Structure 1
Amino acid sequence: MLKSRMTSLVSSSCVEIVTMSLYRNTVWLLKGLQEYTKGGYEAAARSFSEADLEVAVSGRSFIITGANSGIGKAAACEIAKRGGTVHLVCRNEDRAKEARKDVVEQSKNENVHVHLVDMSNPRKVWEFASGFSQNHNLHVLINNAGCMVNQRELTEDDLEKNFATNTLGRKVNSCFSDLTLVIWTYILTTALIPTLKKSENPRVITVSSGGMLVQKLNVEDLQFEKGSFDGTMAYAQNKRQQVIMTEQWAAQHKEVHFSSMHPGWADTPAVRSSMPDFYAKMKNKLRTEAQGADTVVWLAISDTASRQPSGLFFQDRKAVSTHLPLASSRTSPAEDQKLMSELEELAVKFKS
């Protein structure tokens, strides 16, 4: 009898999970078709204030990760055009040099610097942050780097690749993996917060994704060791982690303005390579790289953005909810804190 009841409860729970997942995915897709496309951007842009980006940022220093293409490169161009000192953090030397050349040509600003960092190695992330802090000031950190790995793979440190890049901060082969990116984001941000606090009006912007709306934080399986692996869902889970990290940092470090954002569905090299089927179906509706980068730039330089409360999630220059209606994706403060504690424990292991 007890075994029968337990089987019934497990079966019922599985049905609820599948049903909720289907609900979230359906609502998110409909939302995306309306808001995340080029048409969604153009509709939102009608209410933008041009004056928000009419800002000179000469003398301010910006780090942008994943800046050799896509949204990162587009953001670098816009910031450089306004006089900012831009530090491009990249892995591939040839692509980084080409990106710098393009940014300088478009902006007429020579204060664009390349930093080559092996983001597949968390120790190198710590080393970069330490060296940068000793030699440069920093006003704005833009955590942009990342992409999707479609099968579960481990780094040489036994970190799941997606997590290591999207959360802790790790780049593997030609692409950021999800766990690695979360670790990369955590390490780089944590290491640079003391430097940011020395500057006027410091900011941290993390490029997340609206895809995180389909996921509830799961602190019991950060490296996707349980069940079958789904790269798309792992990516969404890591983007949820980044949003929660932003909220937690905002609460802990009042001197720094933190924000996360969704760039919409943009036509970038990462989308073309990681999501070929999606790209084939949606390519005529995707945003340009500049449109995807618009809110990144707005958060990085505008006075209007800095007056927003710290820790919010933005889409098209507006703070938006981090949860879909009735989606049961909220977590407890204890779960959020557990995420931060586990990231700290992992990150410290790689600190020299």
Structure 2
Amino acid sequence: MSRRESAFDKVLDRSLVGGYTNLGYLLRRLGSHDDPAPGSLAGRRALVTGAGTGLGEATALGLARLGATVHLVGRTTERVGPAIERIRARLEKEGGAPPHLVAEACDVSDLRDVRRFARDIEERLAEDASSLDVLVHNAGTLPAARETSADGHELTLATHVLGPVLMTELLRPALRRSEAGARVVLVSSGGMYAQPLPLDDPEYLAGTYRGATAYARSKRIQVELTPVLAERLAGDGVAVHAMHPGWADTPGVATSLPVFRLLTRPLLRTGRQGADTVVWLAATEPPPPAGLFWHDRVPRPTSYRSATAAGDEERQAMWEWVRAALPELG
């Protein structure tokens, strides 16, 4: 598949049902020959947050299938233990080599816990000069009512923006040691297309709180900060990407959007289909260009309406707000 959006692909993407469902995935995969090579991540190390179920588990499976050592991160190690067993059983059934999987605990919304976790894993990796080659920020939340994190930040903002940015910053030494050039992937959402960058109210303090809106706003921030992060880490040899998986049938969708799932279930993607672009971004060669927003292995526009488009000044202003919230960014 070309890495440029064809006319047919553009029609699929704009139609939503044609592009975001399993139909779009299957149509785009017809005749495709750009899958990562078997064993392409052998000897490399990956870390996936929110890896206990759904897209995170599917991503961990895909990376392990390509030979990576995978650290599966959940709020507790018990939350990822069953996923590890399912992945091992799946790869054993496929006849692959026994995977090297590591259970990790970190609440990504809790900045103190992110600091503790990043310090711990960096110390462990530094002992034998190991690197971190792939970092996938997949942990997500969609609260029904406004909640705050342990640090007092709105929960979706803390989970999708502040925690991932802080973790990436603190893991830069391990990412920098990657001889192959590390890759960071932010798992976003096509729902962000409905929202502009919330510069005037990042914490969602004004108006009537809606979980789906908060989710989309935080995902918009993720996507708009991707080129800023890509530029920041380029000197370390680290590429930063954002992507959205389309409409995938995950436990999170079942819990947070039951009516949507009921109406669309026959068209929802499997976890593997939703995670496909994450695994591709992590492993494909030559490396994809950094700082872009991907869906089904093709870079997509970040906005389709002028009302939601952000310019460089708006992105920089959002970055300055994040910097003020995270002293480690300097």
TM-score by length of structure 1 reads 0.82
Can you list the C-alpha shifts for 1:149-179, whole angstroms capped at 9, x where unaligned?
Answer: 12112234321112111111xxxxxxxxxxx
The alpha-carbon deviation at position 55 of structure 1 amounts to 4.1
| Structure 1 equivalent of residue 200 of structure 2 | 220
Instruction: Write the mapping of 1:237-276 to structure 2, written as runs, cut at 5 A.
Output: 237-254=217-234, 255-276=237-258
Note if contact 1:217-1:237 (Cα within 8 Å) is conserved in structure 2: yes
Residue identity matched to 1:230: R
| Structure 1 equivalent of residue 168 of structure 2 | 189
| Structure 1 equivalent of residue 94 of structure 2 | none
Cα distance in 2 for residues equivalent to 1:265 and 1:156: 30
Cα distance in 1 for residues equivalent to 2:12 and 2:284: 29
Secondary structure in structure 2 of the residue aligned to 1:303: coil
- Which of 293, 296, 306 is matched with 1:313 structurally? 293
The alpha-carbon deviation at position 56 of structure 1 amounts to 2.7
- 1:49 counterpart = 2:33: yes
Secondary structure in structure 2 of the residue aligned to 1:159: coil
Cα distance in 1 for residues equivalent to 2:46 and 2:150: 31
- Which of 110, 118, 139 is matched with 1:129 structurally? 118
| Structure 2 equivalent of residue 344 of structure 1 | 323
Aligned residues: 307
Residue identity matched to 1:153: E
- Which of 308, 312, 324 is matched with 1:333 structurally? 312
| Structure 2 equivalent of residue 139 of structure 1 | 133
- 1:111 counterpart = 2:87: no
Q: 1:334 to 1:310 in 2, by over 3 A?
A: same
Cα distance in 1 for residues equivalent to 2:35 and 2:297: 13
The alpha-carbon deviation at position 327 of structure 1 amounts to 3.6
| Structure 2 equivalent of residue 23 of structure 1 | none
Secondary structure in structure 2 of the residue aligned to 1:259: strand
Note if contact 2:49-2:74 (Cα within 8 Å) is conserved in structure 1: yes
Cα distance in 1 for residues equivalent to 2:14 and 2:178: 42
Q: Report % sequence identity.
A: 35
- Which of 75, 79, 83 is matched with 1:91 structurally? 75
Cα distance in 2 for residues equivalent to 1:30 and 1:80: 33
Residue identity matched to 2:145: Q
The alpha-carbon deviation at position 91 of structure 1 amounts to 1.1
Residue identity matched to 1:83: G
Gap regions ≥5 residues in structure 1: 1-26, 169-183
The alpha-carbon deviation at position 142 of structure 1 amounts to 0.5
Residue identity matched to 1:240: R
Cα distance in 2 for residues equivalent to 1:74 and 1:101: 13
RMSD between aligned residues: 2.1
The alpha-carbon deviation at position 81 of structure 1 amounts to 1.7
| Structure 1 equivalent of residue 268 of structure 2 | 286
- 1:206 counterpart = 2:195: no
| Structure 2 equivalent of residue 71 of structure 1 | 55
The alpha-carbon deviation at position 298 of structure 1 amounts to 0.3
Can you list the C-alpha shifts for 1:222-256, whole angstroms capped at 9, x where unaligned?
Answer: 11001111211111111111112211011222121
| Structure 1 equivalent of residue 146 of structure 2 | 152
Residue identity matched to 2:290: S
Q: 1:142 to 1:161 in 2, by over 3 A?
A: same
Residue identity matched to 2:272: A
The alpha-carbon deviation at position 51 of structure 1 amounts to 4.3
Note if contact 1:93-1:116 (Cα within 8 Å) is conserved in structure 2: yes
Residue identity matched to 1:160: E
Residue identity matched to 1:163: L
Secondary structure in structure 1 of the residue aligned to 2:177: coil
Note if contact 1:55-1:302 (Cα within 8 Å) is conserved in structure 2: no
Note if contact 1:77-1:103 (Cα within 8 Å) is conserved in structure 2: yes
Can you list the C-alpha shifts for 1:32-57, whole angstroms capped at 9, x where unaligned?
Answer: 21200011111111142254343431
Cα distance in 1 for residues equivalent to 2:296 and 2:14: 17
Secondary structure in structure 1 of the residue aligned to 2:316: helix
Cα distance in 2 for residues equivalent to 1:186 and 1:63: 14
Note if contact 2:63-2:279 (Cα within 8 Å) is conserved in structure 1: yes
Secondary structure in structure 2 of the residue aligned to 1:253: helix
The alpha-carbon deviation at position 69 of structure 1 amounts to 0.7
Gap regions ≥5 residues in structure 2: 1-10, 92-96, 126-130
Secondary structure in structure 1 of the residue aligned to 2:36: helix
Residue identity matched to 2:114: V
Residue identity matched to 1:188: M
The worse-fitting range, judged by mean Cα deviation, of 189-198 and 63-72 is 189-198
